Amino acid sequence: MKTIRYVIHLLARNFWTLLGFEAVLRLLTTLALVPVVQLFIDRLMAFYGYSFITLESLPAFLAHPGVLLAILILLLILSAISIFDVSAVLLIFDQSREDKDITIREAFTFGLQQSVRTFYPRNIMLPLYALLLVPLLNLGITSNVINSIPIPEFIMDYILENQAFTAAYVCIALVMGYIFIRLIYTFPSFLLEGQSFVKSVKRSFCLTKKHFWGDLVSIVGLKFLFDGMLLVIVAIPSIIAMMAFLSNAGVFIKSVVVGIVAATAAAIMLLTIVLGSATSYAIVCTRYWNHLTLLEEEIPNPEPPQWIRLPTTPTNRWIIGIAAACYLILCVSATSFAQYSITTEDLDTEKQLSEVEVTAHRGASKYYPENTMAAFRGAKLQGADWVELDVQQSKDGVLFISHDSNFIRISGVNKNAWDMDYSEIAKLDASGLLNKQYKGERYPTLKQVLAWAKTNDMRLNIELKPNKHYTNLEAQTAQEIRDAGMTKNVIVTSQNYECVKNIAQVAPDMPRVYVMSLVYGKIDELDAANIYSVEENSCTKRFVNFAHENGKQVLAWTINKPANMERVLENGVDNIITDDVPTAKHMVETRSSEITVDSLLNEMYYYMIGQ
């Protein structure tokens, strides 16, 4: 409890200065840094002749020496901004520890002085620490300027499905977690003690030498505790709003209550965004100072720049006034939005929603061996709208269904498709090395699947995987589709854009889909594709709206977690590609279009803070 009280003290003592600094920094990075970085990337792409970048074109783009140099410079700048943020916040906490006031200008100046140190040769490894180590562990102990990059769900699924990869992933995570905790006091030592980066690392290792488990439990545990407290605080407005909805009050009263509740919840969310990392810094600083006290060492106390010192009270008054005005604007906007929504919609009548379809990825591959007839039949039983499958070509030119061109992962045979006739491939067990229930399943041909799909009224998402060993893959696929009479019930997809263009030439009557893991730039220039199939992390509301404005549907892949399904549904995708058809169908069918407390608050949050 003593540590919790001390963390709260650090946050509260100079709260308005902390809030003002972080709010100004977030505003500047949003309005200035983000557009500048985007312009920088756009200019770099234009210089090297790229109007868009996908994962397919990314290696060639990065191969240019000038691109790597430019990215290095950009990362150094982002690292300096991160150090600027962290150092200013730590100085504010240091002044709070001393029970002293501090102004925003002092924090800004100290931050600028410390960020310059990022470019000293002796601190060359500091950007790596700031940009990679901390964000990878996603524990929030870093600047909000640098966000952690989520690992795509399909990659995590692939790792977890393979025991060797899972073991390696766990080992790497444990090692990085250990290193992370051992380096946790690098920032306080570097910024408050004025040490070089190398000496700060040694200092952190020394402080955590006998306190590893205590630091781990305290820092991570307190972070979860504060996050839990925040969830409770955010839940209170929702409960109040629910009570207002269930009451017999008139529309105006309900609108006012829900508006104030939504504004309050939005304000709390904004505070979380602004002060999220500061809470983590406060926890780390508390442990850092505790260690120094136990060692009976003098606690470093860097002084703020005195030449610009201004009275604290007037500054705080401005911050309080601006915060109060913003909250009032939120309340009025939310109340107006709530009254408009409640009076223009029938609470008992569902709005018409665009139908979102579900595609079974490699068939119902969560429950059956992937890319087999069992998986395709299972997808039909589970109510899938589409079945996605992968096409390979054997040595004797037979098109068959398999995701991999090599059979080692599924059948335990280290041979490639182009080295075997289909008569040999047909003898292999396609049920998977660990799947005994469906032992004996075979690799079906494309003709078999097309005939089954036509009989069972199932639409197919056929992905082509061309390589230098395959010949006339696109033309042969198109011909087999025509022979089966399935032209209007298939879409042909590929992660290779040249393949998509070839499909456009040999089968202009068939819908063509470009499969992308990364999306940036003028994607509308990919005019050979009628539809975009995009990895779920890139299926943002902005991208989906852009695609729809250009007449393109968006397929989101590969999504198995309900939370991710809900997110892409809210962003407006047209199709969810998943291994878990029942869960996806449930998420689609139970989407509520009635005006409920949750839906109304969610709409208000998006309306007010653009999330």
Query: Containing H/E element for 329?
Result: helix 312-344
Residue 229's pLDDT is 79
Torsional sign, CA 420, 422, 426, 431: positive
Q: Tokens 């009025």 map to which residue?
A: 332
Residue 521 shares a structural domain with residue 415: yes
Residue 321 shares a structural domain with residue 376: no
The answer to whether position 336 is within a domain reads yes
The answer to whether position 600 is within a domain reads no
Residue 425, token pair as written in the block: 């491939």
Residue 314 shares a structural domain with residue 276: yes
Higher pLDDT, 240 or 424: 424
Tell whether the model's pLDDT for residue 307 goes beyond 60: no
CB 503 within 8 A of CB 510: yes
Residue 441, token pair as written in the block: 């399943």
Cα–Cα distances in angstroms (integers) from residue 249 to residues 45, 252, 255, 338, in the given order: 57, 8, 10, 14
Residue 222's pLDDT is 81
Alpha helices for 29-98 (secondary structure H)? 34-47, 58-62, 65-97
CB 552 within 8 A of CB 526: no
- Tell me the residue ranges of DSSP E strands in 457-548: 459-464, 490-494, 512-516, 520-521, 531-535
Nearest partner of 118 among 87, 80, 81, judged by Cα: 80
Mean pLDDT of 582-604: 66
Nearest partner of 241 among 226, 254, 225, 231, judged by Cα: 254
Residue 241's pLDDT is 67
Cβ neighbours for 237, distance < 8 A, ≥ 6 positions apart: 261, 262, 264, 265, 268
The answer to whether position 117 is within a domain reads yes
- Measure the CA dihedral 124/114/24/231, to 10°: 70
Mean per-residue pLDDT over the chain, rounded: 83
Residue 306's pLDDT is 60
Residue 129 shares a structural domain with residue 278: yes
CB 561 within 8 A of CB 151: no
- Tell me the residue ranges of DSSP E strands in 449-590: 459-464, 490-494, 512-516, 520-521, 531-535, 553-557, 575-578
Residue 188 shares a structural domain with residue 105: yes
DSSP label at 555? Answer: E
Residue 173's pLDDT is 82
3-state secondary structure of 112: helix
The answer to whether position 40 is within a domain reads yes
Residue 337 shares a structural domain with residue 228: yes
Q: Based on the structure, what is the number of domains in the chain?
A: 2
pLDDT band, residue 305 (cuts 50/70/90): low
DSSP class per residue in 217-276: HHHHHHHHHHHHHHHHHHHHHHHHHHHHHHS---HHHHHHHHHHHHHHHHHHHHHHHHHH
* Range among 4-8, 91-95, 268-272, 522-526 rated most confident: 91-95
Residue 280 shares a structural domain with residue 401: no
Tell whether the model's pLDDT for residue 206 goes beyond 90: yes
Residue 316 shares a structural domain with residue 365: no
Of 219-223, 244-248, 467-471, 582-586, minimum mean pLDDT range: 244-248
b/e for 61-72, b at 16 or more Cβ within 10 A? eeeeeebeebee
User: Domain containing 403 — which CATH number?
Assistant: 3.20.20.190
The answer to whether position 155 is within a domain reads yes
Residue 399's pLDDT is 97
Tell whether the model's pLDDT for residue 464 goes beyond 60: yes
Which one of 342, 376, 394 terminates a domain?
342
Residue 338 shares a structural domain with residue 397: no
Distance linking the first and last C-alpha atoms of the chain = 35
Residue 318, token pair as written in the block: 């401005």
Residue 511's pLDDT is 95
Higher pLDDT, 191 or 514: 514
The answer to whether position 297 is within a domain reads yes
Tell whether the model's pLDDT for residue 308 goes beyond 70: no
Question: Could you report the per-residue pLDDT of 43-102, keeping only the tens digit for each?
Answer: 888 888 888 888 888 888 888 988 888 888 887 887 888 888 888 999 999 999 989 888
Amino acid sitting at position 92:
I
Residue 370 shares a structural domain with residue 301: no
3-state secondary structure of 531: strand
Please report how the helices 562-570 and 581-589 are oriented relative to each other, as an axis angle in degrees rounded to 10.
40
Residue 162's pLDDT is 72
Task: Give the span between the Cα atoms of 386 and 358, in whole angstroms.
Answer: 6
Task: Give the span between the Cα atoms of 449 and 431, in whole angstroms.
Answer: 17
Mean pLDDT of 379-383: 95
How many CB atoms are located within 10 Å of the residue 172 CB? 11
Of 29-38, 179-188, 416-425, 471-480, minimum mean pLDDT range: 29-38
Residue 338 shares a structural domain with residue 367: no
Residue 394 shares a structural domain with residue 472: yes
Tell whether the model's pLDDT for residue 350 goes beyond 60: no
Higher pLDDT, 134 or 318: 318
Question: Could you report the per-residue pLDDT of 487-535, keeping only the tens digit for each?
Answer: 999 999 999 999 999 999 999 999 999 999 888 888 888 889 999 999 9
Tell whether the model's pLDDT for residue 141 goes beyond 50: no
- Measure the CA dihedral 338/341/343/347, to 10°: -110
Torsional sign, CA 157, 384, 562, 151: positive
The answer to whether position 352 is within a domain reads no
Residue 607's pLDDT is 47
Question: Could you report the per-residue pLDDT of 543-577, keeping only the tens digit for each?
Answer: 999 999 999 999 999 999 998 998 899 889 999 99
The answer to whether position 440 is within a domain reads yes
User: Domain limits at 423?
Assistant: 357-592
